[in-house]
Amino acid sequence: MLGRPRCPTFHREERDKRDVHNQDGHALLFVCRIKKVIFSACELGIFDLLTAPPCALTAQQVAVSCNASVGGTERLLDALVGMELLHVETQEDGTALYSNSEVASMYLAKGGAKSLHHVAIYRSQTGYQLWNNLADAVREGKNQYQKAFGIPPEEVFQAIYRSDKDMLKFMSLMNSCWVLDGHDVVMAFSLAGFRDIVDLGGCTGALAREMTKAYPSSSVTVFDMPAVVEMARKYFLQADDTFAFQSGDFFHDELPVADLYVLARIIHDWSEDKCVNLLKRICDVCRPGGGVLLVEATLLESRRGPVHTQLLSLNMLLQTEGRERPASQYAGLLRRSGFRDVQVCRTGKTYDAILALK
């Protein structure tokens, strides 16, 4: 039943090289400001406003709609023009009309075809609070929920799901993660031979939705905490979805028997011991010939890149008890847990796929 990789292996060492030496020194330190400009525009709803007809508005009209000052709005809009996320057209009477660029409409407006709006909101309102404590995280070697939000760091997801509002914010982030990468990871291997598929920690069902589209003859179930399942059914379930939800804690509750278990952005949350414990639990209930599919952002074997994955690993330090790993380390965890025939497919996107059989 082991699928064949559908994607080539990318030379990440070459792809990830960046000629930072030619950049202006000040530009290196402006990155955080650029991000915050985008995040703030998302929070204010500017990209959504400029998507709706008439699609071109003055700074005053935008300010009124966003309940913001005209002067501050104009400066923000002009900065977005400078970043080529907005267009501006000056009328004969001198009035400036602002409109979205194609990139802004696609990625930053809520209704964009590949919207990352909720990713921006989460990073602005939660991520930035934690990243302010990066130096402390490096010193202490643990997540920073206590300093950022006054919440004990021991129970990671109790901190992440500290309120219904924060739970919905995080789930919206997870839902958006598969907008760009979901199709690639479910197609990385041919999974058509796996009849019953369980997406452990599948959150909103966004990846399960991609799997049902790619493999309509397979039965797909999302297994997650009761509160998450309730929220997913309320806010994210679509009328034509064919996958099912099942409530439970994958560390403690009985796991459903299946042919394939998907762990997408799950293993990187936990310590090595917890990862092996979870994978052994999966191996125990997995049908013979079945397997597990890990979806993670993998580091190079040297751990010297890609930069994006290195930054994700720092984010794991700030938010969880886990880390990003090279593919060989994921393969080692799988073999220690009873799996074999490990194959790796580098998708060329943020997340890669690792498939192993029981």
- pLDDT, one tens digit per residue, over 261-299 is 999 999 999 999 999 999 999 999 999 999 999 999 999
The CATH architecture one would assign to domain 115-357 is 3-Layer(aba) Sandwich (3.40)
Map out the domains of the chain as residue ranges: 21-108, 115-357
The answer to whether 341 touches 292, Cβ cutoff 8 Å, is no
pLDDT mean across residues, the chain: 92
Helical H segments across the chain, by residue range:
12-15, 25-29, 31-44, 46-49, 59-66, 70-82, 102-103, 117-122, 128-131, 134-140, 145-149, 156-160, 164-186, 206-214, 226-235, 272-285, 307-319, 327-336
What is the DSSP secondary structure assignment for residue 257, as one 8-state letter? P
Tens digits of per-residue pLDDT, 305-336? 999 999 999 999 999 999 999 999 999 999 99
pLDDT at 28: 72
Do the beta carbons of residue 326 and residue 299 sit within 8 Å?
A: yes
Q: Which residue has the tokens 């994921």?
A: 330
Q: Which of 236, 229, 220, 219 is nearest to 250 (CA)?
A: 229
pLDDT above 90: residue 10? no
- Residue tagged active-site, from 118, 183, 268, 308: 268
Task: Record the pTM.
Answer: 0.89
pLDDT band at 22 (very low <50, low <70, confident <90, very high): low
Provide the pLDDT confidence category of residue 30 given band limits of 50, 70 and 90.
confident
Type of residue at 251:
F
Q: Is 115-357 the same fold as 21-108?
A: no
Cβ neighbors of 288 (< 8 A, separation 6 or more) are: 358
Identify the band that residue 152 occupies on the pLDDT scale cut at 50, 70 and 90.
confident
What's the CATH code, domain 21-108?
Answer: 1.10.10.10
Catalytic, 183? Answer no
Which tokens belong to 228?
């998450």
* pLDDT, tens only, 39-59: 999 999 999 999 988 899 999
223-263: per-residue pLDDT in tens?
A: 999 999 999 999 999 999 999 999 999 999 999 999 999 99
pLDDT band at 13 (very low <50, low <70, confident <90, very high): very low
Rg (CA), the chain: 22
Query: b/e map of 83-98 (b: 16 or more CB within 10 Å)?
Result: eebbbeeeeeeeebbb
Q: What per-residue confidence (pLDDT) applies to 156?
A: 86
Q: In what order do the strands lie in the sheet with 260-264?
A: 244-247, 219-224, 196-200, 260-264, 291-296, 352-357, 340-345
Residue 179: the pLDDT is: 82
Q: Confidence band (pLDDT; 50, 70, 90) for 6?
A: low
pLDDT for 19:
46
User: Could you tell me which of 270, 168, 159 has the C-alpha nearest to residue 228?
Assistant: 168
Kindly state the percentage of the chain with pLDDT values over 70. 93
